Amino acid sequence: MFGSRIGRLALAVGCAVILAACDAPSRHFVVPSPAPSALSPSPRTSVPASPSAAASPVIPPGVTAGIAVYDRQTATFTATRNATTRFRSASLVKLLIALDYLWDRGPGYVVAPADRARFDLMLRSSDDSAASYFWGRAGTRAVVSRMVSRLGLEDTSPPPPDRSGWGSTAVSAADLVRVYRYVLDTAPAPVRELVMGDLHRSTRCGTDGFDQSFGIPSVFPKPWSAKQGWYEFGGVPTVRCVESGAYTGPVGPRARVIPVGNAVDYAGEVLHTTGTVGEGDRTIVVVLTLHRHGTPFATASSAVTKLVAGLPVPR
């Protein structure tokens, strides 16, 4: 096993989180410093952010968003908004699929030669066939259940029985910060190098033809890493992505999408950008968004990129 079960910190992060578009009471979330193991380096000490320290980003009309920006250098959040609101994961669950695959492969944590091309393509180019291969081989929904337990995730859950595909896993911005902190601060070096190495080599285009350069890749100069996610948008891109050029797209009107309570809204289009920014992966950036069904991909991509550009991201 590479890493022991993560306990929850007694210290609560002082970022009050208001659940998206509902009257549920706010609650605090904690990103735990994972317990060190014999195989992993000691994690940084977690220092809770004060409520006044974290900005509350302005979300564009017609978009529901969950945001968490975490500065690893100062161990504080610089921005949070709806960080515990749950979204359909789309391809972000590929991070959990990759970690589950590597979990019992110590001490070297080597990807089997027959699996290496699939593994890299799954993380770099968000390949769905590769994800389905590992997902099915490892027990489908059990993959998520195992990683929830191992990483102490609070808002993540497997797809419901009527939505068995890996893309319907529920995630939150707070939990994605926990995942990245595990990879960066606690995972054994070979695991960190494998996962982050692929994310640092994120391609412009997904293998399904969608342009995955929105958000983090469009806003920040290198170094950055990215794992993107999208779901629906007609299933195929209107214009197939090519591996050159910079993305630009129009911003059009959108209607408000309102999840009920903290339930996952499966009706809208989701577009997520997550990863790290700066030398040494200084800042973890997680922006999860939901758009009304039928929103064009270019419209959603432009909105997400503009939202990310307005975030306070140390680098």
Percent of the chain with pLDDT over 70: 77
For the segment 207-219, the average pLDDT, to the nearest whole number, is 96
Sign of the alpha-carbon dihedral angle for 28, 182, 93, 224: positive
Rounded to the nearest integer, the mean pLDDT of the chain is 82
Task: Give the integer Cα–Cα distance in Å for 26 and 20.
Answer: 10
Ranges of H-type helices in the chain: 93-102, 113-124, 128-137, 141-151, 173-185, 189-200, 216-219, 297-309
The pLDDT, as a whole number, for residue 237 is 87
Q: What is the DSSP string of 212-258?
A: --SSHHHHSPSSEEEEEEEE-TTSS-SS---SSS-------------
Task: Give the integer Cα–Cα distance in Å for 227 and 217.
Answer: 10
Ranges of H-type helices in 36-165: 93-102, 113-124, 128-137, 141-151
Residue 165, token pair as written in the block: 């595909």
Q: How confident is the model at residue 54 (pLDDT cuts 50, 70, 90)?
A: confident
The pLDDT, as a whole number, for residue 263 is 74
3-state secondary structure of 49: coil
For the segment 23-36, the average pLDDT, to the nearest whole number, is 39
The pLDDT, as a whole number, for residue 157 is 97
Q: Are strands 16-17 and 27-28 parallel, antiparallel or unpaired?
A: antiparallel
The pLDDT, as a whole number, for residue 251 is 30
The pLDDT, as a whole number, for residue 53 is 57
Task: Give the integer Cα–Cα distance in Å for 23 and 43.
Answer: 36
Lowest mean pLDDT among 9-23, 46-60, 71-85, 161-175: 9-23
Residue type, 265: D
The pLDDT, as a whole number, for residue 261 is 55
* Burial status of residue 236 (CB atoms within 10 A of its CB: 0-12, 13-18, 19 or more): exposed
Q: Flag whether pLDDT at 166 surpasses 80.
A: yes
Among 37-51, 82-96, 226-240, top mean pLDDT goes to 82-96
Q: Tell me which residue of 140, 37, 66 sits closest to 96, measured CA to CA.
A: 140
- The string of pLDDT tens digits covering residues 179-196 is 999 999 999 999 999 999
Q: Tell me which residue of 261, 101, 242, 233 sits closest to 167, measured CA to CA.
A: 233
Is the Cβ–Cβ distance between 150 and 3 less than 8 Å? yes
Position of tokens 């209607």? 255
Q: Please name each of the domains of the chain with its CATH number.
A: 16-309 (3.40.710.10)
Q: Tell me which residue of 76, 82, 26 sits closest to 289, measured CA to CA.
A: 82
Question: Which neighbouring-strand residues pair with 27?
Answer: 17
Lowest mean pLDDT among 7-21, 124-138, 197-211, 263-277: 7-21
Residue 3, token pair as written in the block: 């890493």
- The string of pLDDT tens digits covering residues 83-129 is 999 999 999 999 999 999 999 999 999 999 999 999 999 999 999 99
- The string of pLDDT tens digits covering residues 242-260 is 887 443 333 333 333 334 4
The pLDDT, as a whole number, for residue 62 is 87
**Of 50 and 223, more confident:** 223
Is the Cβ–Cβ distance between 46 and 31 less than 8 Å? yes
Q: Are strands 170-171 and 87-88 parallel, antiparallel or unpaired?
A: antiparallel
Task: Give the integer Cα–Cα distance in Å for 75 and 57.
Answer: 19
Residue 168, token pair as written in the block: 């319907």
